Amino acid sequence: MAVPSKPAPSSTSAVDTGLIWFEGGLVAPEEAKVSVLTHALHYGTSVFEGIRAYETERGAAVFRLREHSQRLLDSAKILGMPAPVTVEEIDHAILETIRANKRRSCYIRPLLWYGAESLGVNPGRNRVHFMVATMPWGIYLGEEGVQKGVALMTSSWRRSAGDIMPTKSKAGGNYVNSVLANQEARENGFDEALLLDKQGFVAEGSGENLFMVRGGVLYPIAHSVNLRGITRDSVIKIAEHMGTEVVSTMATRDELYTADEVFMVGTAAEVTPVASIDRRPIGAGVAGPYALAMRKTYLDVVHGRIEAFDDWLTYVDGPAA
Ligand code: PPE
């Protein structure tokens, strides 16, 4: 019997993409179509990025554009996938797609994938394609999740080891693991999954990195199998700027249970406080004060309100763009 799943606030409507960058230019969404024999559809051989652009006083700005474009190429390199675009061309396509759709803020999804030239595991004869779509995407784990803190469930699915799946690559196939973990959490009435590795160390969420606060010290959860999170890096630098002591550490799930605060970060999730893990309240069982302060500062940074971090913004209509 199908279990009713907690509705996902994280869903976005794929319909509202407007023009899509596809095969080297902008096309209407109905023209951005692929064959059912697409290699990536059969074997998960795609790599993607999740990027956000925010409204600022100087118009739309993409947050850490170059780092995301570079990570897309790194993901392809890990798969041995020859990318048909340079990092500059990826930046350019993203900015053009935002301009064409006159977005003031959006979520940006670039993708590289093996096409339909041949079937069979080895993709050597398949062309690599590139596309960029932009779309509105609100608060990943919901407004209530941010205000009250989200409920995490330790997943029965473990994060793949680095010698089983290339966890540093944002590869489509890797996300079956995330899909299963997130589905399990939602079917059980939780907001998001907490994934451990095979040894029981905390890895990450289905689409977020984790932080713990204890005794005024900020502990970014370190793990060799985690995605090299750009938000994680941003939050560490913002914390240092705020004068917080930052100590990167590995952690087991029980260490998170007794932390003063836990929060999740990611491009989509931004900074999301965690209220409970496996039904144990974290701290006071509400969104923690440090997490909320960090969320506020992070949002100030991405909206261009803190000059010290202006280098992280690429203004869509700015001279540098
Ligand atoms: N871990 C995973 C597994 C992950 O997918 C993400 C991003 C992160 C960590 C955080 O990385 P960064 O965005 O660089 O801070 N997840 C993307 C996809 C979410 C989705 O539902 O799709 C995102 O946040 O865009």
Q: What is the pLDDT of residues 80-108, one digit of tens each?
A: 999 999 999 999 999 999 999 999 999 99
Question: How far apart (Å, rounded) are the C-alpha atoms in residues 134 and 192?
Answer: 24
3 state DSSP class of 168: coil
- 205 in Cβ contact with 173 (< 8 Å): no
**Separation of 2 CA from ligand 1 center, angstroms?**
28
| 220 within ligand 1 shell (Cβ under 6 A) | no
List domains and CATH numbers for the chain: 20-135 (3.30.470.10), 143-302 (3.20.10.10)
Residue 138 — very low, low, confident or very high, per pLDDT cuts 50/70/90? Answer: confident
Ligand 1, atom 8, lies closest to the CA of 208
From the centroid of its chain, how far is CA 33?
24
* pTM, to two decimals: 0.95
C-alpha distance from residue 84 to each of 92, 138, 179, 244, 288 (Å) = 14, 31, 28, 42, 45
3 state DSSP class of 211: strand
**Cα atoms in the Cβ-side hemisphere of radius 13 Å centred on 279:** 2
**Separation of 295 CA from ligand 1 center, angstroms?**
17
Residue 85 pLDDT: 98
Q: What is the pLDDT of residues 282-316, one digit of tens each?
A: 999 999 999 999 999 999 999 999 999 999 999 99
| 231 within ligand 1 shell (Cβ under 6 A) | yes
In 3D, which of 257, 291, 285 has the Cα closest to residue 273? 291
